[in-house]
Structure 1
């Protein structure tokens, strides 16, 4: 386990949260649940066929096993879902059907304060996981969009925060315009401070540094930087910066010596999803970095989406991070 994940587990244990694992039919989820319970990381609600989960090979003593199809909570949660969504045209019959879905049931547990967060996505698409989250929980106060980030822990790395970075957005926003990119930057700074506990230095990445290239793509990042600084004047945010200027002090001193971010960036904001997704996977594979995510930011309560290729260890890590996010909301 990495130092970062050790820290997440330690913080999760210090103020235990209740986390919904919505995919109790998935063996990786149950393996992660056993580990979370053994290490006393979180209180767990596991959704699915309760009899099958209880009879699995995993020791899940202490978990609350709930089958949305038969739960005594089903009617109450359906009625609450109907009240939340009737202004959008939802009927009570539709609410009663949706509440049988583990994702809607799980999000309603969070909405009604029966749980503090949810982890899903091992066998559901990102759209399926986020749809009920946005419909029911909505965005956090003062937040205009939901985005995602990875925590990257790079071994033997002198850059960033002792080799630890936040990369955003690598999972959700495909082609953010300047305003959306600015919000991603501000939210990523908050996420870095929440999880890493250090001062964020946010680099708005581009193929251009301080006007070295003149084109629409570079201009988008320049404008995003301006908006981000207006949104969060106390944060260290700068751009547009090429990656080497963002990370390397010698390059920064040559290209942009007056920048408060260049040469010490630990939050890297990519201009689009292509760049972000390629960037984090390059670092993960070539530098053998640990990649934790995608972690969502901007939802009123933490709901995190897993990759469908995730391992039990990935689920364990994301659940611990979700606990820390929830601690900073509650």
Structure 2
């Protein structure tokens, strides 16, 4: 995480937290201030936030080192209603309905702040369903130029391995083309972490040992990815042990184009990726977990999960700020 935090400290950004009343978020915001990586914007009721800041003994000072956005009243909301209506007018969202929808959703308020430039990035998802937050991001933020869709990447940084696993939350059963796209987005992210990317396309099959549709899909995904990014070490389809062990892999395929342990694991579907990450998270010891990192969005917006810890919120704040810094430099 060091390169990510260094990038964030070099160019701190305004990060909106859609669950600004949550004590984990408040503690993470304090750490973000102390580490010099972000200016927190907390969406929530000011009185509730003030009470919880005092109860937790934090040094957050709205108007000084952070901002509080009251979902009940803000002079900017008229602009947010109008902008949301303009985005979704042909989806049945009338001006009156836009007003109701925005005021009822702290997540949507934070997303609109990013859309209209009142925040540089957004962290949400510690309360509520991932898919609901994702739908709002699709509608408001969309996909950045050059990306073909959204995907989710989770990282587990252990003593022996740093593993980045996709797609853990977004695409239920991606096609070979989508998997190649996801791998390309993951490569970009791993490089931001200061690591040389090495990609493995995982399967129950080992280099053609099965002709089942899922094995053929992973083989095709690898072929498409290699055509697109021939300079990035990658291979597949292969089983999980071969992805992490050079000796296992080369005993079966001495001509494998992947050397060393893979650090990007592309799974056949969402269930496989999500299960793998969560099992490794519980069995991997004292590793650092990062994510979900939302890949491919047109702005630095990330959806966490209700199990997110303070440390994970801080880590994702740094990721969001680093994304914003990279986008500013493009």
1:137-152 equivalences under 5 Å are: 137-152=141-156
Equivalent in 70, 73, 87 of residue 84 of structure 1: 87
SS in 2 for 1:328: helix
The corresponding residue for 2:170 is 172
More moved, 94-103 vs 71-80 = 94-103
Paired residue for 1:23?
19
Match of residue 68, structure 1, among 61, 67, 71: 71
The match for 2:98 is 95
Match of 2:315 in 1: 317
Aligned length: 319
List alignment gaps of at least 5 residues for structure 1: 158-162
2:327 is paired with a residue whose SS is: coil
Equivalent residue, structure 2, for 1:11: 7
- Looking at structure 2, the residues matched to 311 and 269 of structure 1 have their Cα atoms a distance apart, in angstroms, of 25
Partner of 1:112: 116
For residues 281 and 175 of structure 2, the distance between their equivalents in structure 1, rounded to whole angstroms, comes to 27
Give secondary structure in 1 for the equivalent of 2:305: coil
- After the TM superposition, which of the residue ranges 20-29 and 30-39 deviates more from structure 2? 30-39
Aligned residue for 1:43?
39
Cα offset for 1:86? Answer: 1.8
2:133 maps to which residue?
Answer: 129
1:250 aligns with 2:250: no
Task: Give a deviation string over 1:115-170, Cα, whole Å, max 9, x none.
Answer: 11111111121122111111011011122221111111112x1xxxxx22211112
**Where in structure 1 do 4 or more consecutive aligned residues deviate above 4 Å?**
none
TM-score with structure 2 setting the length: 0.91
* Cα RMSD after superposing both structures: 1.7
Structure 2 gap segments, 5+ residues each: none
CA distance in 1, matches of 2:234, 2:158: 22
